[in-house]
């Protein structure tokens, strides 16, 4: 399977461990990623709150690039990116004037029917049964709290993926990797996301609740499919522990880490040693 | 030469303000065939009608055009008026110069010209009208009532008490419906079973009511006054004539852990069971999906124990036929299936409330069984998980109602009231308990209703939060209910021992299939459609089929009963005449022209066109043809549109007339 790949800023910057992980993992599954040539910002963070036309034009240009470069479907591993891309396609499809304005700006037709996939969907596409049969090292020791966060599922009218309130897909992938997903309560709660810059206290409080609940329900690690979630739960974990006087030591894996490890890939190749909280698997290997 | 009179109505100022009626009358006089043209302030009034009658006689008119309001409004009035002067009532036409002209235009000159055009068209059409006689059909004076809940029982009893026979069909083993399982009813808190069971017994023993329980309507043929209904009597495996209802069979049945439908799975029942002790008929049925004898020829204890030998393992479904002249549909409702039912796959519809996942999250009907004196806990409020008395209960209103995203757009109407009732019943039984209610709006319109809600809040201390619940989770044995109080502007978290979801009312399963059998319309939610929301609330567009109760829309007991009585009175009206008359403006087939392709038979939405044979006086087959059943045809004209040989035509709306009217415009 060959997919267009839209990394977005995070996977080329602060979360390049995520890129390393998913490239290694998907490579082992035979998914070929071709990075879009000349991709630009998806419009998240600043643009979408300042200028509605720009909010649509930026992602629309990326979709147009994908179409021009012959990709019917692209992987956008960051949920903010995938939501922005899907939102732009939907907005342009439903508003003739906006569509015309955007097409003038990007000098290309808007691709209203663009296929934008998140990481979970790529695993689903390559087949959970196939993953199951390719597992070399079932992650029996891992009790995983699957954490979806916000934008992977919301707004449901845009993402049209899984049940926004009672999702199941990440658990299915984790189970295919031989790990045990735990039943817990904070799967779709907010981690604080972008507040990490403006109001770090809020992030500490919200992310603390997530970690606390995951541990209370017997998890020994978390799985995420979002660079922002990873930053707040992994990088900030030490700060959370300090702030609340607790000790979690809960490793936070990208979903591709778990699948990759189950497929028998070395952790160094997946980049998990670059996470801030070391995992039980890494510890054992070391 | 035609002698046509034109009668223009001013409708007070409604028409006269925008249309120059005098000028239009003058112009009308110039239309060929028009003998006279009069205008009057209110043509529908007594003097107006007298004017029409007078002109018909004095001018020896043979047809008339009334230029006035919509025919929906006064066609019948004017037909009666002309009939009074000896003119066939089907020889008049209405030119609608109000809704189609004066009300929608401002320019008087243009509107007057348009009014004249409309009159010219009507005159052209009326020329080709011929005298018609109302169609007369005989009536079978027996009613079929589908559904034996409170609405069906009420309708059946009213019709039977009016002196007509009733066939009452109920899908479950007993009549009684949802109401039989309710605890106490708002706003008086009288016991539901105490008021319903006497009515059930009355229905069961009434000499004119024939009861078919554990039965479903399989097929409906025919038309008003002459329906033939096929009913499937499901195998009970109990011979109703031998069984005495002693109940020994139920005592010995070893499969007592079967979830009880009547208790909404809050209790259990044996494989041979009566849904509840007061069931009518008080005869058990065998659940063939559970019974060990039926599944693998085991057990058979009930048969050994049954003294009268009423157990019959050879019992099979039986199809019977019943004749009926009118049908009342009272199929009721079910609750929205929380966490499973949804518009699009992928959304579970309130999966976040944990219904089905957490034992102590139950729906409103389950709570009814929990507080009912005849329920599985004998009316003690014990939560399902461990049987403890819950000290804190959260009631959530509008689960699935008024929610376009994952439920239904409509308000389920009764939940505000029964939720208030639930908080009271709970407080009356668990004095130390605290009830919390999350609501969107309190809709308590009805006699004594708002007072009742105030009582729940002010006397029984229920805490009401105006806001929605976002999620229910379980922590340390407590249900953590997180919601918003939008009046206080704060998030609210309640640690509850039990949660009751007031889920939306939906039409009962299978109602759409039944509606198609009856040619009754239904809306996007599956609720059956009335003929007119204000003036024909219990009639349907299928003549002779009436609706009442929650199959029409969410409604409470008083409303369902009132509507049931209304439907019964409509049935009585239908049965009052020795034969029924119907409007004769229906389709007819030119049987000589008909090529018997039967496109019309396949297209007719009312199944009113039938395959027929033309035979010579000696009985030899001349040809095949399509033929319109006069009792069924609703005059929609679909057959006229599809007929390739142009053999179908509509009385009073013939193609000749339509073309003449269109040509009059040019």
Q: Where are the domains of chain A?
A: 36-117, 136-285
Percent of chain B whose pLDDT exceeds 70: 99
The whole-angstrom separation of Cα B142 and Cα B447 is 35
Q: Are A254 and A267 in contact (CB under 8 A)?
A: no
Q: Do residues A120 and A147 lie in contact, with contact meaning Cβ atoms separated by under 8 Å?
A: no
pLDDT at A286: 40
Taking Cα atoms as reference points, which of A225, A233, A235 lies closest to residue A208? A233
B262 pLDDT exceeds 90? yes
Question: Can the peptide bond before residue B187 be classed as cis, meaning omega within 30 degrees of 0?
Answer: yes
- Picking from B173, B152, B262, the residue whose alpha carbon sits closest to that of residue B215 is B173
**pTM, whole model, 2 decimals?**
0.83
pLDDT for res A93: 87
Model confidence at A285: pLDDT above 50: no
Identify whether the C-beta of residue A132 lies closer than 8 Å to the C-beta of residue A207.
Answer: no
pLDDT tens-digit readout, B486-500: 999 999 999 999 999
Chain B residues touching chain A at CB-CB below 8 Å: 339, 346-348, 350-352, 405, 471, 473-475, 480
Taking contacts as CB-CB distances below 8 angstroms, the residues of chain B near A185 are 471, 473-475, 480
Angstroms from B522 CA to nearest CA on chain A: 28
- Assign B345 a pLDDT band (cuts: 50, 70, 90): low
Which residue in chain A is spatially nearest to B479 when comparing CA positions? A185
* A&B contacts, CB < 8 Å: 26
Interface test with B, best of A164, A205, A206 (most B CBs within 10 A): A164
Which of B352, B405, B474 faces A166 most closely, judged by CB atoms?
Answer: B352
Which chain A residues are closer than 8 Å to B405 by Cβ? 156-157
B231 neighbors B188 (Cβ within 8 angstroms): no
Residue with tokens 């505000």: B416
Residues of chain B contacting residue A164, judged by C-beta atoms under 8 Å apart? 347
Question: For B70-81, what is the mean pLDDT?
Answer: 93
Q: What is the 3-state secondary structure (H, E, C) of B63-107?
A: EEEEEECCHHHHHHHHHHHHHHCCCCHHHEEEEECCCCCHHHCCC
For residue A224, the distance in angstroms to the closest alpha carbon of chain B comes to 20
Q: Which residue has the tokens 């992994």?
A: A234
Alpha-carbon torsion angle B129, B130, B134, B136, nearest 10: -130
Q: Are B278 and B196 in contact (CB under 8 A)?
A: no
The answer to whether the CB atoms of A166 and B471 lie below 8 A apart is: no
Residues in chain B with CB shorter than 8 Å from the CB of A157 are: 405
In angstroms, the separation between the Cα of residue A57 and the nearest Cα of chain B is: 28
Residue of B nearest to A160 (CA): B346
Q: How far is B157 from chain A (nearest CA, A)?
A: 47
CATH of domain A136-285: 3.40.50.11810
Full DSSP string of B463-500: EEEES-EEEEEEETTEEEEEEEETTTTEEEEEEESEEE
Summarize pLDDT for B78-130 with one digit per residue, the tens: 999 999 999 999 999 999 999 999 999 999 999 999 999 999 999 999 999 99
Instruction: Compute the mean pLDDT over every residue in chain A, rounded to the nearest whole number.
Output: 93
Instruction: Identify which of B351, B474, B475 has the shortest CB distance to residue A166.
Output: B351
Please give the pLDDT value at position A282.
47
Yes or no, beta carbons of A166 and B474 under 8 Å apart: no
Distance (Å, whole) CA B488 – CA B492? 10
* Distance from the first to the final alpha carbon of chain B: 22
CA distance A158 to chain B (A): 13
Q: Does A163 contact B351 at a Cβ distance shorter than 8 Å?
A: yes
The candidate with the shortest Cα–Cα distance to B518, out of B334, B320, B318, B331, is B331
- Burial label, A131 (beta-carbon count in 10 A; 0-12, 13-18, 19+): buried
User: CB-based contacts of B151: which residues, under 8 Å, 6+ apart?
Assistant: B177, B330, B332, B548, B549, B550, B560, B561, B563, B564
Cβ pair B475:A185 closer than 8 A? yes
Residue B405's closest chain A neighbor by CA? A157
Residue A281: the pLDDT is 53
Q: Mutating which of A157, A165, A167 best tests the B interface, going by the most B Cβ atoms within 10 A?
A: A165
Closest CA to B244 of B161, B199, B307: B307
């Amino acid at each position: 399977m060959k997919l267009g790949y839209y990394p977005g800023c995070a996977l080329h910057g602060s979360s390049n461990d995520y890129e390393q992980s998913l490239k290694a993992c998907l490579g082992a599954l035979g998914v070929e990623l071709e990075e879009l040539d000349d991709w630009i910002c998806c419009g998240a963070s600043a643009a979408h709150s300042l200028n509605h036309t720009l909010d649509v034009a930026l992602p629309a240009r990326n979709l147009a690039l994908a179409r021009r470069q012959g990709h019917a479907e692209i992987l956008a591993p960051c949920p903010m990116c995938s939501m922005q891309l899907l939102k732009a396609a939907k907005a342009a499809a439903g508003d003739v004037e906006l569509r015309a304005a955007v097409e003038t700006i990007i000098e290309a037709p808007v691709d209203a029917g663009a296929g934008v996939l998140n990481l979970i969907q790529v695993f689903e596409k390559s087949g959970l049964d196939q993953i199951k049969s390719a597992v070399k090292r079932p992650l029996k020791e891992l009790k995983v709290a699957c954490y979806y966060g916000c934008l992977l599922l919301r707004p449901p009218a845009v993402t049209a993926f899984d049940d926004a309130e009672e999702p199941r897909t990440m658990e299915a992938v984790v189970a295919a990797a031989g790990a045990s997903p735990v039943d817990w309560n904070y799967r779709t709660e907010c981690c604080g996301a972008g507040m990490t810059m403006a109001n770090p206290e809020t992030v500490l409080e919200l992310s603390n609740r997530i970690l606390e609940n995951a541990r209370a329900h017997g998890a020994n690690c978390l799985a995420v499919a979002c660079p922002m979630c990873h930053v707040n739960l992994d990088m900030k974990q030490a700060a959370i522990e300090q702030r609340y006087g607790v000790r979690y030591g809960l490793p936070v894996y990208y979903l591709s880490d778990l699948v990759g490890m189950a497929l028998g890939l070395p952790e160094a190749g997946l980049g998990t040693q670059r996470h801030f909280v070391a995992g039980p698997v890494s510890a054992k290997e070391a | 030469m035609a002698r046509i009179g034109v009668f223009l109505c001013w409708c007070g100022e409604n028409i006269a303000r925008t249309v120059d009626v005098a000028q239009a009358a003058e112009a009308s006089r110039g239309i060929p065939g028009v003998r006279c043209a009069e205008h009057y302030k209110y043509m529908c009034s007594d003097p107006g009608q007298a004017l029409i009658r007078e002109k018909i006689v004095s001018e020896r008119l043979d047809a008339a055009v009334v230029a006035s309001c919509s025919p929906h409004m006064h066609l019948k009035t004017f037909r009666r008026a002309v009939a009074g002067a000896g003119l066939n009532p089907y020889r008049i036409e209405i030119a609608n110069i109000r809704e189609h002209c004066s009300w929608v235009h401002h320019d008087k000159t243009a509107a007057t010209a348009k009014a004249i055009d409309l009159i010219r068209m009507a005159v052209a059409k009326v020329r080709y009208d011929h005298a018609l006689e109302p169609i007369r059909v005989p009536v079978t004076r027996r009613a079929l009532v589908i559904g034996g809940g409170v609405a069906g029982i009420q309708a059946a009893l009213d019709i039977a008490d009016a002196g007509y026979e009733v066939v009452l069909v109920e899908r479950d083993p007993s009549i009684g419906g949802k109401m039989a399982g309710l605890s106490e009813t708002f706003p008086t808190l009288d016991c539901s079973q105490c008021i319903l069971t006497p009515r059930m017994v009355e229905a069961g023993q009434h000499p004119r009511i024939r009861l078919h329980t554990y039965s479903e309507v399989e097929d409906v043929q025919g038309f008003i006054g002459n329906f033939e209904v096929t009913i499937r009597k499901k195998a009970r495996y109990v011979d109703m004539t031998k069984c005495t209802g002693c109940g020994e069979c139920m005592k010995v049945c070893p499969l007592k852990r079967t979830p009880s439908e009547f208790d909404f799975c809050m209790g259990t029942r044996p494989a041979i069971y009566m849904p509840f002790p007061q069931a009518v008929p008080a005869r058990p049925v065998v659940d063939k999906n559970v019974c060990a004898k039926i599944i693998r020829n085991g057990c058979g204890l009930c048969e050994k124990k049954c003294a009268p030998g009423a157990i019959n393992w050879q019992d099979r479904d039986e199809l019977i036929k019943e004749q009926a002249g009118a049908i009342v549909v009272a199929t009721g409702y079910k609750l929205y299936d929380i966490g499973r039912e949804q518009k699009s796959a992928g959304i579970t519809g309130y999966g976040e409330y944990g219904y089905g996942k957490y034992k102590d999250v139950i729906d409103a009907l389950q709570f009814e069984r929990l507080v009912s004196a005849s329920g599985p806990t004998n009316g003690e409020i014990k939560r399902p998980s461990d049987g403890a008395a819950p000290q804190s209960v959260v009631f959530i209103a509008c689960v699935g109602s008024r929610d376009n995203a994952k439920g239904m757009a409509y308000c389920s109407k009764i939940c505000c009231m029964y939720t208030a009732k639930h908080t009271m019943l709970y407080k009356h039984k668990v004095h130390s308990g605290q009830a919390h209610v999350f609501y969107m709006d309190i809709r308590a319109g009805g006699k004594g209703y708002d007072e009742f809600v105030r009582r729940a809040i002010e006397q029984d201390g229920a805490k009401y939060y105006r806001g929605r619940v976002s999620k229910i989770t379980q922590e340390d044995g407590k249900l953590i209910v997180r919601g918003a109080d939008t009046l206080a502007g704060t998030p609210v978290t309640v640690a509850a021992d039990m949660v009751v979801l007031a889920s939306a009312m939906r039409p009962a399963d299978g109602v759409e299939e039944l509606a198609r059998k009856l040619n009754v319309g239904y809306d996007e939610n599956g609720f059956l459609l009335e003929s007119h929301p204000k003036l024909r609330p219990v009639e349907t567009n299928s003549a002779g089929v009436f609706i009442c109760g929650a199959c029409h829309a969410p409604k409470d007991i008083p409303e369902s009963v009132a509507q049931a009585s209304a439907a019964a009175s409509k049935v009585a009206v239908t049965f009052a005449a020795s034969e029924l008359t119907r409007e004769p403006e229906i389709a007819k087939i030119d049987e000589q022209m008909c090529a018997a392709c039967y496109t019309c038979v396949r297209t007719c939405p009312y199944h009113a066109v039938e395959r027929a044979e033309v035979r010579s006086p000696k009985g030899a087959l001349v040809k095949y043809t399509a033929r319109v059943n006069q009792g069924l045809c609703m005059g929609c004209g679909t057959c006229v549109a599809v007929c390739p040989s142009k053999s179908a035509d509509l009385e009073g709306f013939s193609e000749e007339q339509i073309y003449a009217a269109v040509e009059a415009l040019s």
